[in-house]
Amino acid sequence: MHRTLTEHARCLYGDEYQPTPECGCEHQERYFIEELTFAEAESILAMLRELCPHLVDGRLPVWVRNLAYRLVVLQRPDDPALLREAAQSLRLHGPDWDDIAASLSRRAQKLDGG
């Protein structure tokens, strides 16, 4: 059993900065996605920041990053810094989500009083 969401993600997808631990767990993506779906914002952010500290790096699939940011934004809809971080991640990983990124940036600006 993995102790943290970060540890689970590292075992499943690997890590650019650390060796993948040998844990003996059955690694099926659906178990990780279940854990991610119900994780607290702090756990999700810890995973993103540890495995992808520069937004463009890391071995997490883009769809996992997008889902992770979506789940965190749903938990913290009034956090302008987080909205900007999620928007930046979306912009860096393809033009398909530029409209969503722009919307997140506008929400962040409104929350900042602008």
Could you report the per-residue pLDDT of 52-106, keeping only the tens digit for each? 999 889 999 999 999 999 999 999 999 999 999 999 999 998 789 999 999 999 9
Domain ranges of the chain: 5-111
- Nearest alpha-carbon partner for 22 in 6, 11, 14: 11
CA distance 6 to 15: 10
C-alpha pair distances (Å), 97 with each of 3, 41, 81, 91, 94: 33, 22, 19, 7, 7
Tokens (6 digits) for 105: 């940036």
- Alpha-carbon distances, residue 105 vs 65, 90, 113 (angstroms): 18, 11, 13
List the alpha helices (DSSP H) in 1-113: 5-13, 29-37, 41-51, 62-75, 80-92, 98-111
Q: How confident is the model at residue 18 (pLDDT cuts 50, 70, 90)?
A: confident
pTM score of the predicted model: 0.92
